[in-house]
Amino acid sequence: MPDQKLLAPYGLKYNPFLPSVPVEDLWSPPGADVFFFRVETLVLDGGFALITAEPGMCKSKVLQQLANRLGQIGDVVVGVMEHPQSKLGDLYREMGDLFGVDLSPANRYGGFKALRARFRNHIKSTLFRPVLLIDEAQSVDTQCLNELRILSSAHFDSESLLTTVLCGDGRLATRFRSRDLLPLGSRIRTRLTLEPYSKETLREFVDHILERAGAPGLMTESLRNVVVDHAAGNPRILVNMGAELLAAGAERDMAVLDEQLFLQVFSPKPVSRRRQVKS
């Protein structure tokens, strides 16, 4: 269905149930603002920060908000890793591309020295550590995680040259308890763990996204409560239901989405008697 037909009848600026919500309109989960402040402080000293949550809990959106906030701080350089599955050679290629260093994969030690020199020069001129953001960090190879730890550490581990924010699902936190990654896990200075949200918090989420999209009256009160009850504490489940309801409401030319529409869209369809006999 064309966006204009879907959005115009409800006065929506954009579809609030899609991942493409503008960063300035994103909802901040409980604890996120404190985490943002701690990371903004961390860029002065460097080190590791960690965001963990199960799928659908807004961890990538938190990382997107963090990137936006850090980008508004003058002189802070933010690099976003786009291929976390890289092996060591490709890790150095991407790091060189992110931080403007021409690296030769055949000379890994030369790349190591060149990146550290770039980090030191940046710190000397700005007093800020460069920032590396890694989404889906549970996919990063163990050797690469340890290389990042060594790359960013100087003066017998008394100085950090880089601020690294790792974001991933529960497998990432579990990996840090392994023998190979315990040294990195012990260096994580601030953490944000997102758990399934309460119904009250998810209701705040629904109210926020509708308000910011320009249609606070899109859903009736009863429908908001119903989608919250069926979301199992997971915002992704909620917005997926919302997207289906919005499309169904536009198709039916409904002025407001209500609980009856939810029953029509999500109630199991009755099986005909003929089909039951045949089976």
Q: How many domains does the chain have?
A: 2
My answer on whether 93 and 173 are in the same domain is: yes
Rounded to whole angstroms, the Cα distance separating 219 from 224 reads 6
My answer on whether 180 and 210 are in the same domain is: no
Q: 246-258, pLDDT tens digit by residue?
A: 999 999 999 999 9
My answer on whether 174 and 91 are in the same domain is: yes
279 within a domain of the structure (yes/no): no
My answer on whether 68 and 167 are in the same domain is: yes
pLDDT for 103: 83
CATH number at 106 reads 3.40.50.300
> What does the buried/exposed string (b/e) look like for 93-121 if buried means 16 or more CB atoms within 10 Å of the residue's CB?
bbbbebbebebeeeeeeebbebbbebbee
Query: In the listed set 136, 159, 194, which residue is the last one of a domain according to the structure?
Result: 194
My answer on whether 186 and 213 are in the same domain is: no
Rounded to whole angstroms, the Cα distance separating 231 from 182 reads 35
Rounded to whole angstroms, the Cα distance separating 255 from 249 reads 8
Pairing of strands 159-160, 153-154: antiparallel
Give 10-residue mean pLDDT values along the chain (279 residues). 76 95 97 97 96 96 97 93 93 94 83 95 95 97 97 94 97 94 96 97 98 97 97 98 96 95 87 53
247 within a domain of the structure (yes/no): yes
My answer on whether 239 and 103 are in the same domain is: no
My answer on whether 159 and 229 are in the same domain is: no
CB 43 within 8 A of CB 179: no
Query: In the listed set 159, 194, 229, which residue is the last one of a domain according to the structure?
Result: 194
pLDDT for 279: 45
Listed in sequence order, the residues at least 6 apart from 149 whose beta carbon sits closer than 8 Å to its beta carbon are 48, 183, 184, 187
My answer on whether 64 and 136 are in the same domain is: yes
Name the residue with tokens 């943002």.
Answer: 36
pLDDT for 134: 98
- pTM confidence score: 0.91
What ranges make up the beta strands (E) of 157-225? 159-160, 163-168, 188-194
142 within a domain of the structure (yes/no): yes
My answer on whether 173 and 203 are in the same domain is: no
Helix (H, G, I), strand (E, B), or coil: what is residue 58?
coil
Long-range contacts of 53-56 (CB under 8 A, 24+ apart): 53/169, 53/170, 53/193, 53/194, 53/195, 54/169, 54/170, 54/196, 54/234, 55/169, 55/236, 56/234, 56/235, 56/236, 56/237
Rounded to whole angstroms, the Cα distance separating 65 from 61 reads 6
Q: At what angle do helices 221-229 and 235-251 cross, to 10 degrees?
A: 140
220 within a domain of the structure (yes/no): yes
pLDDT for 272: 58
Q: Give the DSSP H/E element, type plus range, for residue 27.
A: none
For 257, which DSSP code? B
165 within a domain of the structure (yes/no): yes
1 within a domain of the structure (yes/no): no
Domain containing residue 224:
197-266
CB 98 within 8 A of CB 81: yes
Picking from 209, 70, 99, 91, the residue whose alpha carbon sits closest to that of residue 139 is 91
Rounded to whole angstroms, the Cα distance separating 157 from 20 reads 40
16 within a domain of the structure (yes/no): no
My answer on whether 260 and 126 are in the same domain is: no
pLDDT for 268: 74
My answer on whether 33 and 155 are in the same domain is: yes
CATH number at 224 reads 1.10.8.60
23 within a domain of the structure (yes/no): no
My answer on whether 249 and 128 are in the same domain is: no
Query: In the listed set 194, 217, 237, which residue is the last one of a domain according to the structure?
Result: 194
pLDDT for 20: 94
